[in-house]
Amino acid sequence: MEKTMISHIITPKEKPLLFEERWPIMQPTVSKLVRQDCVSRAEWQDLFGEVHRVCLWDERSPDKMYKALQEEIMTFIREAQIRVLQHQDEQALLNAYISEWTRFWTQCSYLPMPFVQLEACLLGKTTSNPQRKQPVQESMVKKLMLDSWNKSIFSSIKQKLQDAAMHLVYKERCNEQFDSNLVIGVRESYVNLCSNACDQLQIYRDHFEKAYIDFTRSFYLQQAGSYLAENGMQEYMKYADAKLKEEEQRASKYLEPGPEKPHICRDVNYG
């Protein structure tokens, strides 16, 4: 009723607030935000206003805006994937992925802000001044960003990431030097990538943690038997005790802390 009354008093020049007419104005700022380019205060404030007005005026705009936003996000992710896959060396691949993910993860905190009204409309709320009572991780736009990254670049190269990270851990077990922050960075990306507010560690646990335990088990199944055969039981017990302590320290560095962290010495059979 309110829209109908307003439409009678607005002149044709004032009326065009349709999505198709306003998105070309919003899109450059959205693109800058996704790419972490510099956005002026005026552009930032104007985006809030445009989203708010269009969502309230054009009842079909929320779905259209959500799809346009999804495409903008996917365009950036496809570009990021090309940049990452240019690297064949495992350390260069990890460095590139962590760099791209860190940029994207930072923007997951900023991009949803101007789209509060969009989220309110998609959730069926009618208030023109929605209050963000939900935690940040439950933002529909943030979930869209995380799910898009998960289903595209992460799904296509997660095996490469895991294998590269586990190979670096293997090097450490063999007393070779490498940048441990690469493994930590991969782990953190697995944790932050999950959009499941009820189980934030789901992706990390199903992939990174499982791979870590499997690779650790495989390593010691190969090492323990030969060490026992060559050095006898007494020396083997000393070896096993030293390795148990070493792996506990390594697990504290590379596995996610918390009450659900696996007991690496329990989960890995050294004999």
Residue 8 has pLDDT above 80, yes or no: no
Per-residue confidence (pLDDT) for residue 266, from 0 to 100: 53
- CA-CA distance, 208 to 186, in Å (whole number)? 8
Angle (CA) 161 206 148, round 5°: 65
User: In whole angstroms, what separates CA 64 from the centre of its chain?
Assistant: 24
Residue with tokens 């205060």: 41
Q: Report the alpha-carbon distance of residue 267 to residue 85 in Å, rounded.
A: 34
Q: What is the pLDDT of residue 9?
A: 41
| pTM: predicted TM-score of the whole model, two decimal places | 0.80
Q: Which among 219-223, 231-235, 245-249 has the top mean pLDDT? A: 245-249
Q: Which two tokens stand for residue 161?
A: 């990431």
What type of residue sits at position 128? S
Residue 145's closest CA among 110, 97, 99? 110
Sorting pLDDT into bands at 50, 70 and 90, what band is 137?
very low
pLDDT at site 177:
86
Position 263 confidence tier, pLDDT thresholds 50, 70, 90 = low
Band of residue 187 on the pLDDT scale cut at 50, 70, 90: very high
- 21 token code pair: 């007419």
Distance CA 23, CA 9 (A): 24
Contacts of 246 (CB under 8 A, 6+ apart): none
> Which of helix, strand or coil describes residue 198?
coil
- Across residues 69-74, what is the average pLDDT? 97
pLDDT greater than 50 at residue 118: yes
Residues 6+ apart with CB under 8 A from 118: 51, 55, 62, 65, 66, 69, 140, 141
Mean pLDDT of 130-146: 71
Tens of pLDDT, residue by residue over 9-46, are 444 455 556 899 999 999 999 999 999 999 999 999 99
Between CA 83 and CA 224, with CA 205 as vertex, the angle to 5 degrees is: 100
Better-predicted residue by pLDDT, 85 or 15: 85
d(CA 6, CA 3): 5
Q: Supply the pLDDT for residue 135.
A: 44
Q: Cα–Cα distance between 177 and 198 in angstroms, integer?
A: 38
